[in-house]
Structure 1
Amino acid sequence: MSTPIQWTVPLDHPAFAGHFPDIAILPGVVLLDLALQLITDACHLTLQNCTINSVKFLHPTLPGDVLSIVYHQLDNGTIRFDISTPAHKAVSGSVMINSNA
């Protein structure tokens, strides 16, 4: 398992401008991009060599949330990841490293 990577959601993240007008929630695509960038950087991979197997968005992520991102690679090459706040798991998913990686 990886050492948890901490990231604090900026209060003024540009994605909050349109997502949602009355309650700012970080879009899932931003969380997925964050996880994929951190994993591919740490594993010295490129996104072109990865296929998203599954992603579940379990809890809203709000401005100022402190996120902990952890991942681990299984024997078959799948990388499982979780993004959590201190109180909730926000995202759970997995990516597969393509054979041409």
Structure 2
Amino acid sequence: MTPDDVARYVEALPQVKRKGTEARPAWYVRDRLVARLDEPDTLVVRVPLSKRESVVASCPEGFGVPPRMEAHHKVEAYLDRVEDAAVRTAIDLAWEMQSRP
């Protein structure tokens, strides 16, 4: 999945707004982070802690949780190593979590 593919997918979700910069775009629902491109091939996705292990287990070479994110509801998706469907699933989990009242 390319950064442009990510942008098209997440921006098609209801109530999502793009923020951030050109180099580091981020997508939010009601000012709550859904995803942010940290590097050209690394997407940070906010997922529920209860689902994070299953996201990583679905594609261990494509997702990771660096030490700085262990206490947070976040996972890194390495876009050059993960299947598009797995990224979309992680984004959907983030969107569902952030869309709740």
Q: Same fold by TM-score, threshold 0.5 exceeded? A: no
- Structure with max Cα Rg: 1
Q: Which has the higher strand share?
A: 1
TM-score by length of 1: 0.27
Q: Of the two structures, which has the highest relative contact order with CA contacts closer than 8 Å and spacing of 6 or more?
A: 1
TM-score by length of 2: 0.27
